[in-house]
Amino acid sequence: MIDEREERPFLIGLTGNIGTGKSTVAEMVADLGAETIDADKVAHGVMRPGTEAYHRIVEAFGARVLTPDGKIDRKALGAMVFSDSRALARLETIVHPATLQAIDRRIAAAAADVVVVEAIKLIESGLADLCDSVWAVTCRREQQIERLVRHRGLSREEARQRVEAQPPQEEKVDRANVVIDNSGSLATTREQVEAAWDEVTDGPHGTLTAAWN
């Protein structure tokens, strides 16, 4: 597992509730030199046709969660599980173990000195315990809804359901070493990201120090 290796990159866990702007922050740290791993994209990969997770999802939720060409229809699956907490828990039981294993392999193969794992379930999955620093991205609830409507094409009701299906943002903030407030301008967010980055490098925006030793 990740924490059993003697040599590995400095690991930042980047989390935040849906629509807060984790991907925006991840792009900013990538510009500063980090290698980023998007847990959502990794999860998408472990659900591709032919995988164990794919077969278990189809068995659990039926053919109605498939596209015409036989792939997992993530929008249809999301609509189903975000309105049913038991269905969401069932899906997570299927997908999370395979996703964590794939993330672990990506970290092991990383060439960068700093790896950022972007994961909405960073804390709930236990991955936060293996990170050297946990960063939480926040914004206002109405901004979350607006961003989901604008960027993901959800209705306001669908967006509201997804926001309300998650634990309060405060739970992530309480666990974080760094909090990035993404409710303002991109420039303001970038200033916060660069300041946090400099805390784990010999800044400004330089190479990694031995801060994790």
The string of pLDDT tens digits covering residues 50-72 is 999 999 999 999 999 999 999 99
Residue 80 lies in a domain: yes
Number of domains in the chain: 1
From the number of C-beta atoms within 10 Å of its C-beta (0-12, 13-18, 19+), residue 33 rates as middle
CA–CA distance, 37 with 160 (Å, rounded to integer): 27
The string of pLDDT tens digits covering residues 35-49 is 999 999 999 999 999
Residue 211 lies in a domain: no
Residue 79 lies in a domain: yes
| Domain range for 20 | 2-199
Residue 121 lies in a domain: yes
Mean pLDDT of 149-165: 92
Residue 137 lies in a domain: yes
For position 82, which CATH number holds? 3.40.50.300
Residue 188 lies in a domain: yes
> Cα(first)–Cα(last) distance of the chain, in Å?
19
Whether 82 has a pLDDT exceeding 90, the answer reads: no
- Residue 173 tokens read as 């903030």
Residue 64 lies in a domain: yes
Residue 67 lies in a domain: yes
